[in-house]
Structure 1
Amino acid sequence: MTSQATQPQYRLEQTRKVSAFPGPKSTELAARRAKVIASGVSSSAPVYVADADGGIIEDVDGNRSIDLGSGIAVTSVGAPAPAVVAAVQDQVQHFTHTCFTISPYEGYVAVAEQLAVLTPGDHEKRTALFNSGAVAVENAVKVARVATGRTAVVAFDHAYHGRTNLTMGLTAKANPYKSSPAGSFGPFAPEIYRVPMSFPFREEAPIKGEDAARRAITMIEKQIGAENVAAILIEPIQGEGGFIVPAEGFLPALAAWAREKGVVFIADEVQAGFCRTGDWFASDHEGVVPDIITMAKGIAGGLPLSAVTGRAELMDTVHAGGLGGTHGGNPVACAAALAAIQTMKDLDLNSRAREIEAQVRERRSKVAEEVGIIGEERGRGAMLAPEFVKSGPAETTKEPNAEATKAVAANCLENGVVILTCGTYGNVVRLLPPLVIGDELLADALDVLEAATRAAA
């Protein structure tokens, strides 16, 4: 049951309602879109949003869908959260922009103060604010290279870090992020090396987290040389790659090796951060303290903001003017972030994420046993995912089943539940509900997902 601390006030009725889908107004907007929007910009849903609140998205034709995507883990506090609305309204009445690198303001400083407290570790920290997760990752790498005087960056199988040139190179999945039948976005930035991730479900044989870390470390030492590595960059729980949770011990072992070798350990918490996994950050689960942590998505209640927070002695190696950007740490986005963070505290959204996990796992474990096309239900907190596989005459296999995944997503969407797919093999459904979603609405969404899963099976 939802705890008393997590009883937000909703503006829209928190019920699902689907009639014409897509309706006439969405159909008209789609025709307008086709004339002016680049075809490379795609959308999962064929309907256009008019309003959103709590766990509901309402389209221009009045259909109400349950949101299990949160704009890809962005609107964790709701869309919109009342405190975020109030903070933004107050800020825009004063000023919307000055550029912090020209005329600074308190909001930027206040966000940095919050991040110094919330991010793992009690060491002295410094923060720089940006606009997106990809830009945060780029700047974290810049800091690591300057601080170490080295150039090599180690990333992992199944990783996703963004769509800029450097972050495309860091990302493991080619289509649609790095190339497609239409051609490649490369060449990509050099000095990027990839090593195996700990992926318990898809290991050829069971392997402990420490041993999986040793496998990766051996590759680094033999093929790159520790003395050449500026940074290890890793998502503590991988997002686009398939919500992959590494085996216990994997992250601590990597972090310990990095510390011993003078390598900067960067945790990309763009998707997993800010209460999404039941902790402020996914790194907290095993007590991992990154040297640098990158953040975005859930930080500001839907406004574009990202951050790089790291050890003071690392961050301060960059010369004055070496970090920044015109819109980095925009004052309106900073106001939204402060309000979003306070909402997370007031509603105890870490606890709420754990409650959501308990409810989803109880329901999904029964379904997985019965349908025979779910290889694994994994994740943590309100960052959960079933991986769909093919079933043989006698048993479930591990062969990816992207067809079933697409069918489940389409079925859910037609019945008023917005879910997202992901995974290197395109066979994972990711569940990222707003952390303020109510129990009844979540149960309704899980009913629809269960029916779609059974239909696909």
Structure 2
Amino acid sequence: MKSLYERSLKVLPPVAKRATKLGVIKGKGSYLYTEDGKKILDFASGVAVCNLGHNNPAVVKAAKDQIDKLIHGGHNVVYYDTYVELAEKMVELTGGNTMVYFSNSGAEANEGAIKLAKYVTKRQAIISFKGSFHGRTLATTSITGSSSKYRKNYEGLLPSVYFAEYPYCFRCPYKQKKETCKMECSAQFEDIFKKLVDPECVAAIIIEPIQGEGGYIVPPRKFIEFVRSICSKYKICLIFDEVQCGFGRTGKMFAHENFDIKPDIFTCAKAIASGFPLSAVIGKKELMEKWSSGAHGGTFGGNPVSCAAALATIRELQSGILDNANQMGKYLKEKLFKLKENYACIGDIRGIGLMIGAEFCREDNKPDGKAVSFIREYAVNNNLILLACGTDHNVLRFMAPLTVSKSEIDTAISIIESGIREYLKNKA
């Protein structure tokens, strides 16, 4: 009998390629179960979607109960309870002075966010960041700066998009050292506003508070504070893309809480409903009230079942799982730092909560994507799923479920260390 991978080759185009060739039939907690009977420790979590682990019982029950009542009503036709209740909960979680619009995916949410910013400011320009990832639609591809392959053959894209340098301290684009840093990453905006686009023409600056695909990069707090200040100064909408870093991934409900900074607009998706398609644009009330009827819309956004799953997800996160995320994130970083002490090929360990990256380098400190590729392949052959990130694909990103245990982390670290040893032995 052919495997799911083999069957897919006849019916799926190359663009639908997966990170592994695994065919899975079930998921539970931190594990996936394959068609050939293997139990796989999943530290990808469906790309930071299954933050509560696979098939969390409370989420499953909430979804099943909702299916018996209403599967689809159409949020542009009627009001239904899970939609309104989830909106109320999101407003409560974000301070009470916000409003919420629900979509299906992260790209939809980010597209909605930039449409909102353009609509209310009557401005056209958007500033994004190199290394960013915001989605695969034409508009979100236009503001994505992590890989030229996402843009190839799709030009021209959304006009009036400008890219700034993200504060990547380990590989500072300005060649600065932490101890003597003059924050050129902040000063760059003066140059952008002088030479490229007047600030009064800028609708929004969109930024990932912790950069995801770009390398799991945590920016300096004072940089985020500076971006907030210039947005306030020039009445530019500050948009935080929390599609990957939100909903508990950083040990807090929302990633921007780590910086004590409030955006004007931010987006959530991925983990918001533990695997059911749902996303949200959350904006300050004074902005959202200006977004007129008919200016945006969609058919499936805020599906009743997805909203029920999201409400259950929030309850679970608030039941102590966020505490576990912080404790296990600290434990995982300690284990990774010990590996770094023993293996010079690990150049940097960084992250917040359970959003952690390990950057691999060659002897000359240049990115070593081959190491990460080898270790990932070794890991999957030993029943552990890991994904890469970074513009040079040289960062192992750890997206273990927030429910992960110490013993599961120990298992993963053991496999990774064996993979590093095999790589260095083959390299020699």
TM bucket normalised to smaller: over 0.9
The equivalent residue for 2:21 is 46
The equivalent residue for 1:57 is 32
Question: Alignment RMSD, CA only?
Answer: 1.4
Partner AA of 1:178 in structure 2: R
Is residue 227 from structure 1 mapped to residue 194 from structure 2 by the alignment?
Answer: no
Distance in 2 (alpha carbons) for counterparts of 1:356 and 1:288 = 25
Is residue 405 from structure 1 mapped to residue 361 from structure 2 by the alignment?
Answer: no
Distance in 2 (alpha carbons) for counterparts of 1:366 and 1:406 = 21
The equivalent residue for 1:193 is 162
Is residue 358 from structure 1 mapped to residue 330 from structure 2 by the alignment?
Answer: yes
Following superposition, the deviation at residue 209 of structure 1 comes to 8.2
3-state DSSP class of the match of 1:307?
Answer: strand
3-state DSSP class of the match of 1:134?
Answer: helix
Distance in 2 (alpha carbons) for counterparts of 1:66 and 1:85 = 21
Distance in 1 (alpha carbons) for counterparts of 2:21 and 2:331 = 29
Distance in 1 (alpha carbons) for counterparts of 2:96 and 2:365 = 43
The equivalent residue for 1:217 is 189
Whether the 8 Å contact between 1:99 and 1:326 is mirrored in structure 2 is yes
Whether the 8 Å contact between 2:112 and 2:281 is mirrored in structure 1 is yes
Following superposition, the deviation at residue 212 of structure 1 comes to 4.0
Distance in 2 (alpha carbons) for counterparts of 1:210 and 1:327 = 47
Q: 405, 409, 412: which is aligned to 1:445?
A: 412
Distance in 2 (alpha carbons) for counterparts of 1:59 and 1:219 = 53
Q: 225, 229, 237: which is aligned to 1:264?
A: 237
Give the direction of change, closer, same or farther, for the CA distance of 1:114–1:209 in structure 2 (3 Å limit): farther
3-state DSSP class of the match of 2:351?
Answer: strand
Distance in 2 (alpha carbons) for counterparts of 1:453 and 1:178 = 33
Large movers: runs of 4+ above 3 Å: 207-210
Distance in 1 (alpha carbons) for counterparts of 2:416 and 2:92 = 38
Q: 354, 363, 367: which is aligned to 1:382?
A: 354
Give the direction of change, closer, same or farther, for the CA distance of 1:175–1:43 in structure 2 (3 Å limit): farther
Distance in 2 (alpha carbons) for counterparts of 1:53 and 1:210 = 48
Whether the 8 Å contact between 1:50 and 1:59 is mirrored in structure 2 is yes
Distance in 1 (alpha carbons) for counterparts of 2:418 and 2:221 = 33
Partner AA of 2:263 in structure 1: P
**Normalising to structure 1: TM-score of the pair?**
0.89
Q: 415, 421, 425: which is aligned to 1:454?
A: 421
1:430-452, Cα deviation, whole Å (9 max, x unpaired): 00001112221221111111211
Whether the 8 Å contact between 1:210 and 1:250 is mirrored in structure 2 is no
The equivalent residue for 1:429 is 396
The equivalent residue for 2:223 is 250
3-state DSSP class of the match of 2:309?
Answer: helix
Q: 55, 74, 77: which is aligned to 2:52?
A: 77
Partner AA of 1:42 in structure 2: K
Consecutive unaligned residues in structure 1, runs of 5 or more:
1-24, 392-396
Deviates most, 362-371 or 53-62: 362-371
Distance in 2 (alpha carbons) for counterparts of 1:220 and 1:319 = 32
Partner AA of 1:90 in structure 2: D
Q: 273, 281, 287: which is aligned to 2:260?
A: 287
Whether the 8 Å contact between 2:3 and 2:23 is mirrored in structure 1 is no
Counterpart mapping for 1:28-427 below 5 A: 28-119=3-94, 122=95, 124-179=97-152, 184-203=153-172, 204-206=175-177, 211-222=183-194, 223-346=196-319, 348-391=320-363, 397-427=364-394
Distance in 1 (alpha carbons) for counterparts of 2:188 and 2:326 = 31
Following superposition, the deviation at residue 335 of structure 1 comes to 0.6
Following superposition, the deviation at residue 77 of structure 1 comes to 0.8
* % same residue: 35
Whether the 8 Å contact between 1:156 and 1:234 is mirrored in structure 2 is yes
Distance in 1 (alpha carbons) for counterparts of 2:243 and 2:310 = 14
Partner AA of 2:327 in structure 1: E
Distance in 2 (alpha carbons) for counterparts of 1:213 and 1:150 = 24
Distance in 1 (alpha carbons) for counterparts of 2:216 and 2:387 = 12
Following superposition, the deviation at residue 211 of structure 1 comes to 2.1
